Amino acid sequence: DIQMTQSPSSLSASVGDRVTITCRASRSVHTSLNWFQQKPGKAPTLLIYDVSTLHGGVPSRFSGSGSGTEFTLTINSLQPEDFASYYCQQRYNTPFTFGQGTKLEI
């Protein structure tokens, strides 16, 4: 299985800040990398697929980059509703695997 490792595991920031979350794969997943947001008690929602394509309705302050084994999710100008957990996920090989998550706190 491809292991996905996110850093940091948790992150404190303020409204208006720019934050970056890193995701590393144990081997290349090429550009088959997605990002999800999850708020407490809710289902995850798709933010970005295939490294950098925003899912419909996702604000442009979210962006993704990378390829191969290293990827980043950047959130510009944090808004109050962005404080949540974020997960990367590879879909290059089954089983599809997720990172352990990054909790973004105020």
Partner 1 sequence: QVLLVQSGAEMKQPGASVKVSCKASGYAFVSYGVSWVRQAPGQGLQWLGWISGFNANTNYAQKFQGRVVMTADRSTNTLFMELRSLTSDDTAVYYCARDGVGIAAAGKPDYWGQGTLVSVSS
- For partner 1, the binding residues (CB under 8 A) are 1, 32, 34, 36, 43-46, 49-50, 55, 87, 89-92, 94-101
| Residue 41: partners with Cβ closer than 8 Å, 6 or more residues away | none
- CA-CA distance, 7 to 86, in Å (whole number)? 11
Q: Which is nearer to partner 1, 77 or 93 (CB)?
A: 93
Q: Which is nearer to partner 1, 16 or 43 (CB)?
A: 43
| Side-chain-side CA neighbours of residue 56 (13 Å) | 0
What one-character DSSP code corresponds to residue 3? -
Q: How far is the CB of 36 from partner 1 (least distance, A)?
A: 8
Q: How far is the CB of 35 from partner 1 (least distance, A)?
A: 11
Q: How far is the CB of 16 from partner 1 (least distance, A)?
A: 28
